[in-house]
Amino acid sequence: MSTTWRQRLQVVVGVLLILLAAWLTIGGGDEGEPAGSPSSSSTSSASAQPTPSASRSSTPSRSSSARPSATATPDSGLATLPASSLPPEGRRTLALVAAGGPFPYDRDGVTFGNRERILPIRDRGYYAEYTVPTPGESDRGARRLVVGDEGDTYYTADHYASFRQVEVGS
């Protein structure tokens, strides 16, 4: 084998290893879910309940039937926040979610991938995110509500760096 052939082979192998590492990092195409994570494996732990996520799309056109009633809020172990303590914009967004819309932003209702792994691990498609407008911002701002299929609701004021579980109905 000549030196240039060996060098070319090393470059090709290196590129393939980088592509493989990138593919594994993003979970083999399951956005935000690393390969082998509890939410991407075929078996689930006792805390990850099966969900009807296969019937849900990641488009913003979620109907009110896609969201559970807000009577019970599963416990996540995160710090809690009474719904009455949300900023006024958050309470309005929560009411829109309960009503099934209409939502003011195109991205409202899309799947939240939970890449930060702060919220409980669930199957892809379990969580949807909604914008909580920030007064004075010219864009969507950093505030969001993230709502799970079981009614669990979370608030972040810092674009997913931290969350508090919303006590819906309080």
Q: 3-state SS of the chain: helix, strand, coil percent to 5?
A: 25, 15, 60
Question: Which parts of the chain are beta strand (E)?
Answer: 80-82, 110-111, 127-131, 144-148, 153-156, 164-167
H/E stretch holding 6: helix 3-25
Whether 163 contacts 153, CB under 8 Å: no
Residue with tokens 């980088």: 18
* Active-site annotation, residues: 129, 159
Residue among 26, 127, 37, 116 at smallest CA distance from 74: 127
